[in-house]
Structure 1
Amino acid sequence: MRRLALAAAMLASLTLAGCNKASAPTAMADDMSLGNKDAKITVVEYASVGCPVCAAWQKEVYPAFKAKYIDTGKVRYVFREMLVGGGSEVTVASAGFLLARCAGKEKYFPVVDAVFASQPGVFDTPRETLLEIAKSSGMSEDQFTQCVTDEAQIKALNARVERNASENDVTATPTFEINGRKMEPGYHSLAEIDAAIDAAGK
């Protein structure tokens, strides 16, 4: 798991160079979600697209989790943005989340998936790698640069991260919350998530 870092606009390198039965959590206006909005179970993942542990979970567990729970309508899945680590991890996460938001709701999750999949190479060539993802989502280089340097959106990202950390008591990523009940922060197998979902449904 990765420890929470203070949210900061660390994007200069990108602009200069060519991540008891509980009740369902309250939805937030800026939540990004998949699945059945009326499902009895809500799974919230607090993660950073710059977090290697989160990327490993995304690659190794998420596809099966999505097929079993999201695609079948059994759960509503909510992804909440965090910034963890330091240096290139925060730079990549900040730019990746800004890019995903700029791409729009329909492309948000594909962009997030692409940033996760680009690890670890994205840490060596962040601008080039993220620009390719931007282009694949239909953005030009100018649109990409404008997106990741938009001060209002950087401020909004920082506010989301700080809110998720303070209001929801999230200190590390990935952190999973099943109907308001948090699992221990860190990587969890599908079997562990199965057990948490089963417990939340009883």
Structure 2
Amino acid sequence: MIGPQISSKQENMSHIMKSGSILVLGAFALAAGTMAATPKKNWLLTFSLTDKGAHVIGNPAAPNKVVEYLSYTCGHCADFEMNHSPAFKTQYVATGKASLEIRNLLLNPIDLTAAMLARCGGKGRFFGNQKHLFATQSVWLGKAKNISAATQAHLKSENYTAYMTGVYNEIGLGPIMQQRGISPVQAKACLADKAALKIVLDLTDGGAAAGVNGTPTFMINGVLQDHVHSFADLKAKMK
């Protein structure tokens, strides 16, 4: 009787051990499933400034560091922003494969006003402001003929704040920036920001010194790129 009793106990213990193993394995599988379901970081929510004051979106340690030299009065820049940048940001910036840095390359005095307004509201607002300015470019830029002689005189006397304020009022940038939640008081304070003005002018000078002579022009990991005009062109140059 002793032998069969031991055998029966061993079978019960074996069954318990197997059941326990199944539970443990199930717990590991559940944990692994939970880990797999954890959403990946969206780098489109990460904003920073370079030591020169340029705005950056994306992973600071991305293997592809893309710089875009642009002008807010440039039609090709508006086309890239509206028709090519979304795919680039979704496939490369959001996933951490690339970061995007924006550097100004002013083409005209009106461009200066838009560049200063794009910076209004801090680094978290910059890329949204930029997109909105490009989306409405045909509206405000089409009113350039409305710029008065008095406003032009401020430019000649190098009173840039007065000039930009006049442009802001006369070509309808006030209502456009209010759509971004930036009041006239805030906008005019941004236009009077001498530190921001120096940054925009210095970025333009830096681009010219680097050999940039048109917009948009792209740099990838420190190397200026030729004939990059679309997302497909940009994608072909990256790691």
Q: TM-score range by the shorter chain?
A: 0.7 to 0.9
Task: Work out whether residues 98 and 148 of structure 1, in 8 Å CA contact, stay in contact via their aligned partners in 2.
Answer: yes
CA contact (8 A) 2:78 2:137 kept: yes
Q: 1:132 to 1:183 in 2, by over 3 A?
A: same
Separation of aligned partners in 2, 1:66 and 1:153: 26
Q: Quick one: percent identity of the two aligned structures?
A: 32
- Once the 2 structures are TM-superposed, how far is the Cα of residue 63 of structure 1 from its aligned partner? 0.9
Correspondence 1:10-29 to 2 at 5 A: 28-29=51-52
**1:180 aligned to which of 206, 222, 232:** 222
Contact 2:62 2:99 in 1 (8 A): yes
Query: Which letter does structure 1 place at the counterpart of 2:214?
Result: A
Q: How does 1:44-193 map to 2 (within 5 A)?
A: 44-84=67-107, 86=108, 90-91=109-110, 93-125=111-143, 127=168, 129-166=172-209, 168-184=210-226, 188-193=229-234
Q: Distance in 2 between matches of 1:171 and 1:63?
A: 25
Mark the runs of 5 or more structure 1 residues left unpaired by the alignment.
Answer: 1-26
Residues in 2 aligned to 1:141 and 1:148: alpha-carbon distance in whole angstroms: 10
Query: Over alpha carbons, which structure has the higher Rg?
Result: 2
Query: The residue matched to 2:137 in structure 1 has which SS?
Result: coil
What TM-score do you get using the length of structure 2 for normalisation? 0.63
Indicate the SS of the match to 1:103: coil
Segment drifting more, 62-71 vs 140-149: 140-149
Q: Deviations over 1:33-83 (max 9, x none)?
A: 111111111111111111111111111111111111111111011111111
What RMSD, in angstroms, separates the aligned Cα atoms of the two structures?
2.0
Change (3 A) 1:124 1:149: farther
Amino acid across the alignment from 2:142:
D
Which structure has the highest helix share of the two? 2
Q: Higher relative contact order by CA 8 Å / sep ≥ 6: 1 or 2?
A: 1
| Amino acid aligned to 1:58 | E
Code of the residue aligned with 2:124 in structure 1: it is: E
CA separation of 1:33/1:147 partners in 2, compared to 1, >3 Å: closer, same or farther? same
The answer for unaligned runs of 5 or more in structure 2 is: 1-49, 144-166
Deviations 1:78-127 (A, max 9, x none): 1111112x4xxx41x21121112222111001001111111212113363
TM-score, scaled relative to structure 1: 0.73
- Whether the 8 Å CA contact 1:103–1:137 is kept in 2: the answer is no
* 1:165 aligned counterpart, secondary structure: helix
